Structure 1
Amino acid sequence: MSYLPAVTDVVIVGAGPTGLTLAASLVAGGADVVLLDKAPEGANTSRAAVVHARTLEVLEGLDVSGELVKRGVIVPTFTVRDRDRILLTVGFEDLPTAHPYTLMIPQSVTEEVLAGRLRELGSQVYRPYDVVGVAQDEAGVVVTTSAGDSVRCRYMVGADGMHSVVREQAGIGFTGDSYAQCFVLADVRLDWDLSAEEVQLFFSAAGLVVVAPLPGGRHRIVATVEPGSQGAVEHPDAGEVQALLDARGPRKTRVHVHEVVWSSRFRVHHRLADHYRAGRIFLAGDAAHVHSPAGGQGMNTGIQDATELASRILEGTEDGYESVRRPVAAGVVEMTDRMTRAATLGNPAARALRNTVLALAGHNAAVRRKLAMRLSELTVDR
């Protein structure tokens, strides 16, 4: 545990991708930052594994995009299937960006790269520090930790996730609800004859499953399960993941799960902070918005929150942060909610209609491009 300075410009709580990006961006701009995290060390699981084009663009300012691309898997195509039938193919190759693809990379690696850049800039993560008190006045904020340390700062930022202590201390509401279904994430090693250059979403009567390539020959599996149903265990094993793929994935393609490297089951919420600011306290990332993993938007939106807030603090234009970023998150919550509800339809007639609409959309180049722009977050104003 490193001793905390008594005074700094900005205290950031939460050293996930959002907090690390914010800290590095502020330090690179000349600000003094204290980044706190309650965990003794960084996470080593993959969790969020998608980095979109817009995020790689904004991270170019930190000189980390190249390293992320080097360590990830470039995936230029997203397909939607009903078992073996392709309904829709969305290609990213022609997007107006230097990164016309989806990058698949474990969140642990993304954090490692960002933390390394923060160290290169001369700063660090202070661990383990729990924030237990926040008091602000017109001039700044005093942050108190469970260790008894206090730090005074000009601004404080909560990047401490869905159960944000900073958001609660600031008295900011978190409006929304949770989905009935649970989501399963699993990183596996498998035999798989379909393309390694696609993220593939499969519909079926039993539910959805997503299969995407990861570095090192692994694949990420995402599936919905009903609470209490088969496959709804805390950490699904190879047999349970195999059963999900057998029931929902392709029928005509050999699929065999050899090993589960990591897995988790969790409930998903769709919530949005009522405000992104209370006095000198700001929110970013999951502390400000949470939503379905559909489309891999969550971490990307948080990283973009961070770069926007950092530039505004450095420029003295922080008053405009909420008006710029909250509508973006509201749009993401709405889009991912629609995607999740469409993907989890139970009525056979509704599923058939959904498939017909998607198949028709798949023949329209303008629709495919619009979807590619939206998924890659290139529609966000720059």
Structure 2
Amino acid sequence: MNTTALPARTEVAVVGAGPAGLALAVTLAASGVDFVVLDKLAEGANTSRAAVVHARTLEVLDELGASEELIARGIQVTRFAVREGSRKLLTVPFEKLPTAHPYTLMVPQYETESVLLDRLRALGGDVHRPYEVASVVQDEDGVTLTMSTGETLRAAYAVGMHSTVREAAGIGFTGSAYGESFVLADAVMDWAPGPGEVSLTFGTDGLTVVAPLPGGHYRVVATVDDAPPTPDLAFVQRLLDERAPGQAKVTGIAWSSRFRVHHRVADRYRSGRLFLAGDAAHVHSPAGGQGMNTGIQDGYALGQAFATGRLDGYEARRRPVAQRVVAFTDRMTRMATTRNPLARVARNAALPLLGHTAMPKKLATELAELNYR
């Protein structure tokens, strides 16, 4: 059901109501810029998908008046542990970070979207659903967006969160795909390291991340050569038995999925009146949980650019961030999934030694995205 009829025109058309699109819309609403948010789904997706909200994103949500409610719905984790099997190689501490939020917030993506949507509505905005944008055509004076239903919307500018606007703008998406597939599962389980840390486990079979979620669940992310479409309890238990022996007893699966991952950055973030943010601008490995965070920060930065009329500065500010995040997550993924025995021995010997240097704090700052203020 459409929440509201589509207006004839607006200043900014936002295509996609995920976290990046909602962050942009809240920023525009708070600044008094006229906008329309379009989403092809009849309602927001009720799955957990991205589950990590980092400190820099929480600072942005402070500015948008949305952090308090989100923090209340999540779990604060102050340690990121790197392991090989059950052996801990390195601990990355978040509690001393120079921020009002010295932790990682574990919270399902649908909660992040729900909090941002509530904030948008409190500011008098909403999402127009279900409207699928079939074509985007820009001219000197504006952009015409045509829906699959034939309705049109005229806007001064359009911002895309997915491929539709990027393809209409003719902007390349440079990068490549990882060979492995990724498994995502929200599991009910007994987990030996407990809910006080996010653990990244190296192994010859691939990378495995286990992180606590609200309600006693754990998020499991793992690279596998070929994952089943919907990994079941037996699959997840077998995976953890192989990679973290004796650490996990899985008793239920709340949700699971598989996907293939690319590492790509759009060649440009702007073409005339068309802008990119979020997944349209960058995709990368889920190692480090930085995709949604970078997207929310894109939305906020672009909203501020519209509010202040400084649109030329958006790409210069945000594209180098995406390049750095993609390079960082790629390095982390390759280091974690290397099958070279010598490289693994060297890595496992070096990490405990690096724990006594400034490296863990630097790594925490990088993961928390505090370098991108």
TM range (shorter): over 0.9
Q: Tell me if the contact between 2:92 and 2:360 (Cα under 8 Å) persists in the aligned partners.
A: yes
Q: Between 188-197 and 234-243, report the one with greater CA deviation.
A: 188-197
* Cα deviations by residue, 1:8-31 (Å, 9 ceiling, x for unpaired): 111000000000110111011101
Secondary structure, counterpart of 1:311 in structure 2: helix
Q: 2: distance between equivalents of 1:158 and 1:295? A: 24
Write the letter of the residue equivalent to 1:111. E
2:263 is the counterpart of 1:270 = yes
Residue 239 of structure 1 pairs with residue 231 of structure 2 = no
Q: Distance in 2 between matches of 1:206 and 1:325?
A: 35
Structure 2 counterpart of 1:4: 6
Q: What's the counterpart of residue 285 of structure 1?
A: 278
Aligned partner of 2:115 among 91, 113, 116: 113
Superposed, which structure 2 residues align to 1:104-143 within 5 Å?
Answer: 104-143=106-145
Alpha-carbon contact 2:53-2:105 (below 8 Å) kept: yes
Q: Tell me how far apart the structure 1 counterparts of residues 193 and 174 of structure 2 sit (CA, whole Å).
A: 41
Local SS of the residue matching 1:157: strand
Q: How far does the alpha carbon of each residue in 1:170-193 deviate from its partner, in whole angstroms, 9 at most, with x for none?
A: 111111110000100000100123
User: Paired residue for 1:54?
Assistant: 56
Residue 362 (structure 1) aligns with: 355
1:309 partner amino acid: L
**TM-score of the two chains, using structure 2 as the length reference:** 0.98
Number of aligned positions between the proteins? 371
CA distance, structure 1, for counterparts of residue 336 and residue 189 of structure 2: 24
Match of 1:205 in 2: 204
Equivalence for 2:171: 172
**For 1:167, what is the secondary structure of its paired residue?**
helix
Q: Distance in 2 between matches of 1:57 and 1:142?
A: 35
Query: What CA deviation, in whole Å up to 9, does each residue of 1:49-89 have, x standing for no partner?
Result: 00000000011111111111100000000000111211100
Structure 2 CA distance for aligned equivalents of residues 339 and 20 of structure 1: 29
Q: Which amino acid counterpart does residue 367 of structure 2 have in structure 1? A: L
The equivalences for 1:262-341 within 5 A come to 262-341=255-334
1:27 and 2:20 matched:
no
Letter in structure 2 aligned against 1:336: T
Between 335-344 and 131-140, report the one with greater CA deviation. 131-140
CA-to-partner distance for each residue in 1:321-351, whole Å, 9 max, x for gaps?
A: 0011000000011001101111111122211
For 1:103, the equivalent position in structure 2 comes to 105
Question: Could you tell me how far 1:203 is from its partner in structure 2?
Answer: 1.4
CA distance in 1, matches of 2:187, 2:70: 21
Tell me, yes or no, if the aligned pair for 2:207 and 2:333 is still in contact at 8 Å. no
Equivalent residue in structure 1 for 2:244, among 243, 249, 258: 249
Task: For 2:185 and 2:296, locate their aligned partners in 1 and report how far apart those are by CA, in whole Å.
Answer: 23
In structure 1, how many angstroms separate the alpha carbons of the residues matched to 2:270 and 2:206?
39
Unaligned ranges ≥5, structure 1: none
Task: State the 1:220 CA deviation.
Answer: 0.3
* Residue 373 of structure 1: aligned partner: 365
Q: Residue type matched to 1:224 in 2?
A: T
SS in 1 for 2:371: coil
Matching residue's letter, 2:304: S
Displacement of 1:137 after TM fit?
2.0
Give the match for residue 194 of structure 1.
Answer: 193
The amino acid that maps onto 2:286 is: P
Q: Distance in 1 between matches of 2:336 and 2:158?
A: 38
SS of structure 1 residue aligned to 2:288: helix
- Three-state SS of the structure 2 residue aligned to 1:223 is strand
CA contact (8 A) 2:203 2:336 kept: no
Cα deviation for residue 250 of structure 1 reads 4.3
State percent identity of aligned pairs: 61
Query: 1:208 offset after TM fit, Å?
Result: 2.1
- The SS at the match of 2:96 is coil
1 CA distance for matches of 2:235 and 2:136?
44
In the other structure, the counterpart of 1:147 is 149
Q: Distance in 1 between matches of 2:286 and 2:193?
A: 23
* Structure 2 contact 75–105 (Cα < 8 Å) conserved: yes
Residue 138 of structure 1 aligns to a residue whose secondary structure is: coil
From 36, 39, 45, the equivalent of 1:43 is 45
Counterpart Cα distance in 2 of 1:206 and 1:315? 50
Structure 2: gaps spanning 5 or more residues: none
d(CA) in 1 for partners of 2:61, 2:203? 37
Equivalent of residue 341 in structure 2, options 316, 341, 348: 348
Check whether the contact 2:186–2:254 (CA below 8 A) recurs between aligned residues. yes
C-alpha distance in structure 2 between counterparts of 1:206 and 1:322, whole Å: 38
* Letter paired with 1:222: V
Distance 2:14 2:38 in 1: 6
